[in-house]
Amino acid sequence: MEEFLKVTGVGKAFGSVRALNDVNLLASKGECIAILGENGAGKTTLASVLIGLYQPDSGQILLDGVQISVTSPAAAIEYGIGMIHQHFSLVGAMTAEDNILIGLPREKRGPAARARIRQLCDDFDFTVDFNVPVANMAVGMKQRVEILKALFRDVSILILDEPTSVLAPTEVAPFLQGVRKLVATGCLVFFISHKLDEIREIADRVMIMRHGRVEGILPVASTPMAQMSALMMGQVDADQPAEKPNTNEMRLDTTRAAKALVVSDVSLTTSSGAEILKEVDLTLHAGEILGVAGIDGNGQTELSEVITGLKRQTSGTILLGGKEISGSSIAARIAEGIGFVPEDRHAEGLVLSLSVEENFAFRSIGERKFMSGGMISRRAIGKIAEDAVKAYDIRPSNPKLNASALSGGNQQKIVLAREVARARNLLVVVQPTKGLDVGATQFVQDQIRAVAQSGVGVLYISTELDHVLEISDRVAVMAFGRITGVVNPQNTTLQNIGLLMTASPEEVI
């Protein structure tokens, strides 16, 4: 194999976290290499090192046998390395041509350049409307403009970061077609993706990463999907059941428990046509913890928002304890006893410039318990906050402090305490242990178990699979906006979950 790009022993650490650990890679021109891995496996870090956003702590990158030092994205372009990010960097008010030529010296922006852009479009069968500003384009066309921008700069290595995740289903096939042409012209393409079927279709080899290490670089054609998913999940003996001691000793008899939440046939489609949720069906019983696993960005957050009222579904119904709430406002759902711990506690779950005690009250300030004689009672709020601060051991224990003065774990305790207290029927938690240390994680899990024990249905959405398996009575796996399967954590395998997390549902059944 002709060595075009050679990566040897590359490592990168952030504090004590080794994001990349001794990464080695050989690649040749005209090849498409898929990069597969869970969240935090190091895929994006590797890409960032290649395009100069990060400098590696150790190791070398060789291009055509010559060691290169990519100090910035501009330097990466000089070496012919480009990347298409999930979030495009285009100027909405400008046309495709202007976006492609932006930043180039004047002499390179003449008619010849414009002719070359059209030539590139022809070469790759790219349909681009050159008459409208980029803001008016569909996502797929914007993506093509981004790729043209890179091609115009003569990249020979193109990194695509989850390129199909933003596309509408109908846009995927033409996009893959374009990538195939790119590879045929001798470009080296890295294709970061979770979608095994796409990897199957487009990639020559798949590089599987886990915990910053390369677990294997395998030819796609001869590697079974099961093996890919097993390597990704880090389970060598893939057929063994996931050994997750389920600490919920009293197993719940779901056949007899009342239904706390029934989500039926719920879909959510964005204005640009992307299907975020597709015909989601879920049943959650009172007293049950239903885990929702999946790789980040597969519709889990939107599912939580549709249930709690922050987003409105395009179709389908939601029943809370048998009562339809599909059209109710957020405030009405709060009043119905739905607790919600959102993913981003800083931006959403808390108001950092308010005091701790005000943070206990802000989500339902008009509730009777916070009022006295038609006015907000600072005393009542203070009393409730003080009790919660004591019960949850929130430190520092002064509820008059601004919430910004507390550590992440203690801030999360505020959100949890507030929402647990509110949850009479349903508690929806999203990433409740994100960024917490072991002790705080344990505490959060215990509180969630306790609230389930008291008869509340808990929807536990997290990308941390270990935590989901540990706490849940049942686990629903989401992929690409669908529930791809509901499993019992005690008698499933990680390989099975891995397949559910990456494959399209038709292949699973």
Q: By the criterion CB under 8 A, which residues form the site for other proteins?
A: 309-310, 329-331, 333-334, 340, 342, 344, 346-354, 362-366, 371, 375-376, 402
**Shortest Cβ 457–other proteins spacing (Å):** 20
Helix (H) or strand (E) holding 260: strand 259-269
Comparing CB distances to other proteins, the nearer of 144 and 333 is 333
**Shortest Cβ 467–other proteins spacing (Å):** 23
Comparing CB distances to other proteins, the nearer of 173 and 347 is 347
Comparing CB distances to other proteins, the nearer of 281 and 336 is 336
Query: Which own/partner contact pairs does 332-337 have at CB distance under 8 Å and 24+ positions apart?
Result: 333/308, 333/309, 334/363, 334/364, 334/422, 335/364, 336/424, 336/425, 337/422, 337/423, 337/424, 337/425, 337/426
Amino acid, res. 69: S
**Shortest Cβ 270–other proteins spacing (Å):** 18
Comparing CB distances to other proteins, the nearer of 121 and 310 is 310
Describe the strand order of the beta sheet including 205-210 as a list of residue ranges: 81-84, 157-161, 188-192, 32-36, 205-210, 213-219
- Altogether, the residues listed in the chain come to a count of 509
User: Structure tokens of 95?
Assistant: 């046309």
Comparing CB distances to other proteins, the nearer of 39 and 364 is 364
**Shortest Cβ 315–other proteins spacing (Å):** 23
User: Structure tokens of 471?
Assistant: 């706490």
Comparing CB distances to other proteins, the nearer of 242 and 307 is 307
Q: Helix and strand tally (H, E) in the chain? A: 17, 22
**Shortest Cβ 363–other proteins spacing (Å):** 4
**Shortest Cβ 72–other proteins spacing (Å):** 20
Q: Where are the alpha helices (DSSP H) in 299-456?
A: 300-308, 330-335, 356-361, 378-391, 408-422, 438-453
- Comparing CA positions, the residue from 198, 135, 200 lying closest to residue 164 is 198
Q: Where are the alpha helices (DSSP H) in 185-221?
A: 196-202
**Shortest Cβ 376–other proteins spacing (Å):** 5
**Shortest Cβ 465–other proteins spacing (Å):** 26
**Shortest Cβ 206–other proteins spacing (Å):** 38
The span from the CA of 500 to the CA of 294, in Å, is 8
Comparing CB distances to other proteins, the nearer of 80 and 408 is 408
**Shortest Cβ 311–other proteins spacing (Å):** 10
User: Structure tokens of 52?
Assistant: 């100069």
Amino acid, res. 344: D
For 379, other C-beta atoms within 10 Å of its C-beta total 9
Cα–Cα distances (Å) from 78 to 72, 140, 187, in that order, read 10, 27, 15
The span from the CA of 305 to the CA of 313, in Å, is 9
The span from the CA of 318 to the CA of 263, in Å, is 5
3-state secondary structure of 290: strand
Bond from prior residue into 396 cis (ω within 30 degrees of 0) = yes
Comparing CB distances to other proteins, the nearer of 219 and 366 is 366
Comparing CB distances to other proteins, the nearer of 257 and 380 is 380
The span from the CA of 435 to the CA of 345, in Å, is 11
**Shortest Cβ 350–other proteins spacing (Å):** 7
Comparing CB distances to other proteins, the nearer of 60 and 372 is 372
Helix (H) or strand (E) holding 218: strand 213-219
The span from the CA of 320 to the CA of 98, in Å, is 51
Comparing CB distances to other proteins, the nearer of 146 and 343 is 343
